[in-house]
Structure 1
Amino acid sequence: MIFNRQQQCLLLDGKEYTSEDIRQLIAGGAEAHSPAYWDLYLFLNEWFNDSPVITVHTSGSTGTPKELMVRKDRMMQSARLTCEFLNLKKGESALLCMNLRYIGAMMVVVRSLVAGLNLLVRPASGHPMADIKESLRFVAMVPLQVYNTLQVPEEKERLKQTDILIIGGGAVDEALETEIKHLPTAVYSTYGMTETLSHIALRRLNGASASEHYYPFPSVKLSLSAENTLVIDAPLVCDETLQTNDIARIYPDGSFMILGRKDNVINSGGIKIQAEELEKLLRPFIPVPFVITSVPDPRLGQAVTLLIVGQLDTREIENKLQTTLEPYYRPKHIFITESIPQTENGKIDRVGCRALAASYLSHSHQFPSIELHDDAIM
């Protein structure tokens, strides 16, 4: 592996590009290149400059998106951890199909630079395998890209010919995980964030080693805060111990599970409800996109609220809620919406969901909704 940026070159579509080659491509202007390749050249130009840091954007899934300055040497250490774990070797193919504004896509490129992978480039789209002809060693996607790929037989077949797939940028729901179990590809869900320079733990989704637990890299030490949120000590990629907002459970073998985010705890009448856990309970009988959020309530403080896409029989859903959930878990409001708010890179926008639910509540006479009776709550 090569960690000296002055000695690195990128193997792109089978051809090596040095930092000088990239500068010449940039000098030729954007008009001569497709947007996906131009974005790559801009990133490489910044990677090869003299600055030891680079700007990365957070997704804004739980708050306002922000810019972070991260160290390039730390990014290379993160790349090494992943390449060693997955046994990625020089000359093997990797696909870049995500937005280079975010750390997940950047790290695909950095892994290629460090390990000498042959990088193939496709636009960040919902169907990244649409025109892939080569068998791939390594692909990184967000859950929506994987879901879309599995719906198209030709694209699914190309994915089946891929050796390793990692999925990041959002949770893999149970329905998608069930489909993944039948793939011959080695598929992993990743755990990490912008601050950890992509992932610090992986969870195998299929095959003999499939697990519900994430397993951290050997150099990563984990603990829990007083609020049961995950604390990460990853000295190779983070200068400081990272206090997350992810409520977790750590097991004796060092593995862990994420139960949800502290931000997404709904305090309803003194009962603390984890939005993600409630969504997991509801998925088996809600066949369309939905999200659990909350709205202010004068009696409860926060009222559990269900945002659901499409014209479904909401009375049938209400009956399911009555028979499936404990009283304090049942949504007080159900609002029908055209779409679930998402961030730019496809994650659920939890802040946007709360704002949307609040607007529906304040104009409830204008929107399709159900307000459940008090005896359905407590």
Structure 2
Amino acid sequence: MMLVRAMMHGWHLDIVSPNKQPLLQTIKSYDFAAMVPMQVQHSLKELHRVKKIIVGGAPVSAVLEKQLQEVPSKVFATYGMTETITHVAIRKLNNKTETEIKIKAYEALPGVTFEVDSRNCLVIHAPAISKKKINTNDVVVLLSKTQFQWLGRADFVINSGGHKVYPEQVEQVLALVIDVPYFISSIPDKSLGEKVILIIEGNKDAFPEIEYLGLHPYEKPKEIYFVKSFSYTTTGKINREETKKKIATLEGF
């Protein structure tokens, strides 16, 4: 997409090797750059050389968002998918007003509108991209036709004791106290139906006790499982299903 943007707007484009510290490969300053969260995390000291940055490919953790408040660049999280070709909404990650800090909402790009289906999943109307509406599996709170709050994936939602728990939201909070790969999942429970669990990559003996500050009682993990090494997708994301199978084999659930 950066090639398309450059051709459309007549930009001069510098190409560097795709690694976690792209800005260390150049000494120039830039008007615009696109990165994934991992690259932003490892480039914090160099971000001042870019005026505007969009971040996509994975959710931005609460820790990273907090660190970005000290960055002078304008940084935005993007929302999009393969079907939309590019992002269709953005959310400010720094330089925010009090209202923007409170609601953490994505704003539609010009010409894009939203609605929700019966599952409260986002439906995208982007006539310039597709004549048909684009259905997603992302559960949202629709604030207006052009604004929404992202909660998480419908296929990850946990129903624990009648409460809907969105793993991605819990993970955002835990990012403040866990600095190794982890994710929230669930296992069957006779009382709750589904029990929230925390799965951490690493050794139990080397891990300190976790304080679940900022979580509702039904969001707090009831069990913690440690896995020596997670399974990952070809794009570097945690493969939740395959990693959970490793635990199921050992624990028998």
TM-score when normalising by structure 2: 0.87
Q: Whole-Å Cα distance in 2 between the matches of residues 208 and 306 of structure 1?
A: 32
Per-residue deviation, residues 139-164 of structure 1 (Å, max 9, x unmatched): 100001111112xxxxx23x211111
Q: Which of 333, 336, 339 is the matching residue for 2:226? A: 336
Q: Which of 146, 165, 174 is the matching residue for 2:53? A: 165
Aligned partners of 2:140 and 2:152 also within 8 Å: yes
- Report the CA distance between 1:109 and its aligned residue: 0.6
Aligned partners of 2:196 and 2:221 also within 8 Å: yes
Q: Does 1:200 find its partner at 2:97? A: no
- Report the CA distance between 1:208 and its aligned residue: 4.5
| DSSP 3-state at the match of 1:118 | coil
- Report the CA distance between 1:119 and its aligned residue: 1.1
Q: Which of 309, 317, 326 is the matching residue for 2:201? A: 309
1:142 corresponds to which residue?
A: 36
2:79 corresponds to which residue?
A: 191
| DSSP 3-state at the match of 1:362 | helix
1:319-334 equivalent positions in 2, closer than 5 A: 320-321=211-212, 325-334=215-224
Q: Call closer, same or farther: CA 1:173–1:324 in 2, change over 3 Å.
A: closer
Q: Whole-Å Cα distance in 1 between the matches of residues 88 and 132 of structure 2?
A: 14
Aligned partners of 1:169 and 1:347 also within 8 Å: no
- Structure 1 unmatched ranges of 5 or more: 1-106, 151-155, 366-370, 372-378
Identity of aligned residues (%): 37
1:359 corresponds to which residue?
A: 246
Q: Whole-Å Cα distance in 1 between the matches of residues 9 and 214 of structure 2?
A: 50
1:51-200 equivalent positions in 2, closer than 5 A: 107-150=1-44, 156-157=45-46, 159-200=47-88
- Report the CA distance between 1:264 and its aligned residue: 0.9
1:282 corresponds to which residue?
A: 174
Q: Whole-Å Cα distance in 2 between the matches of residues 137 and 185 of structure 1?
A: 10
TM-score when normalising by structure 1: 0.60
Q: Give 1 or 2 for the bigger CA radius of gyration.
A: 1
Per-residue deviation, residues 2-27 of structure 1 (Å, max 9, x unmatched): xxxxxxxxxxxxxxxxxxxxxxxxxx
Q: Call closer, same or farther: CA 1:136–1:361 in 2, change over 3 Å.
A: same
Aligned partners of 2:183 and 2:200 also within 8 Å: yes
Aligned residues: 248
| DSSP 3-state at the match of 1:316 | coil
Q: Considering fraction of residues, name the structure with more helix.
A: 1
Q: Whole-Å Cα distance in 2 between the matches of residues 327 and 250 of structure 1?
A: 25
Q: Call closer, same or farther: CA 1:330–1:187 in 2, change over 3 Å.
A: closer
Q: Whole-Å Cα distance in 2 between the matches of residues 347 and 127 of structure 1?
A: 18
Q: Considering fraction of residues, name the structure with more strand.
A: 2
Aligned partners of 1:293 and 1:305 also within 8 Å: yes
Structure 1 segments of 4+ aligned residues over 4 angstroms from their partners: 208-211, 296-301, 312-315, 323-327
- Structure 2 unmatched ranges of 5 or more: none
Q: How large is the Cα RMSD of the aligned pairs?
A: 2.6
Q: Call closer, same or farther: CA 1:356–1:253 in 2, change over 3 Å.
A: closer
| DSSP 3-state at the match of 1:179 | helix
Q: Does 1:232 find its partner at 2:120? A: no
Per-residue deviation, residues 44-93 of structure 1 (Å, max 9, x unmatched): xxxxxxxxxxxxxxxxxxxxxxxxxxxxxxxxxxxxxxxxxxxxxxxxxx
